[in-house]
Amino acid sequence: MIKVRCPVVVEGKYDRIRLAPLIDGVILETGGFRVFRDREKLAALRRLAKTTGLVIVTDPDGAGFQIRNFLKGALGADAKLIHVYVPAVAGRERRKAAPSAEGLLGVEGLSEETLREAFLRAGVGVDDVEQRADLTRAELYDAGLTGRPDSAARRRRLLEALHLPPHCSTGTLLELCNLLLTREEFFAAVSRLGE
């Protein structure tokens, strides 16, 4: 089990159930989009984010990123947040008759090993975490990943090659690359994108 010192925030009950055997810690649910108008829940999450900190885990689809980005803004600039990004894996959860609109597995559908790797990559359950690549926004620009007409397409191809969620913003891409890759690994992945 991964020992987590601060509460883990997930979208719904099936995500909580999926993480329960993996996480030694508190798991809280947002109730999906209900968190957008639940003032009491937001106040509680805001308080926790400032005191203990929060680990945020959402699905890799557009809805998951909407919830994640809403929480980033709503919890305040002084919130202590750790973002765990699960990979975009095509498929359908067992309890559902059809795949999601984007055809991706949510947290509830991913294997325990995939989830464990996502937590460890984010530094959750690891005592000594360091940013590995120390990349800057200027280097993303130089790599053609921002500020150019084809940047969005290049970012999508890079995210796909790195098995990362397709909805990452430029800032999130930078955060993930600095956490997951060495500089050499980043530039090698970018060079494989071609021109």
Q: What percent of the chain has pLDDT over 90?
A: 47
pLDDT score of 172: 74
Domain 2-121 has CATH 3.40.1360.10: yes
Show Cβ contacts of residue 188 under 8 Å, excluding neighbours closer than 6 positions. Answer: none
Q: pLDDT per residue over 30-51, tens digit each? A: 999 999 998 888 888 888 898 8
Domains of the chain, residue spans: 2-121, 137-191
Q: 120 Cβ partners below 8 Å, 6+ apart? A: 2, 126
Render pLDDT for 3-19 as a digit per residue (tens, 0 to 9): 888 889 999 999 999 99
Mean pLDDT along residues 135-162: 90
**176, 139 in Cβ contact below 8 A?**
no
Contacts of 126 (CB under 8 A, 6+ apart): 120
Say yes or no to pLDDT of 164 above 80.
no
Q: Which among 109, 30, 33 is positioned nearest to 66, based on CA atoms?
A: 33
CA separation, residue 18 to residues 32, 85, 125 (Å): 16, 15, 17
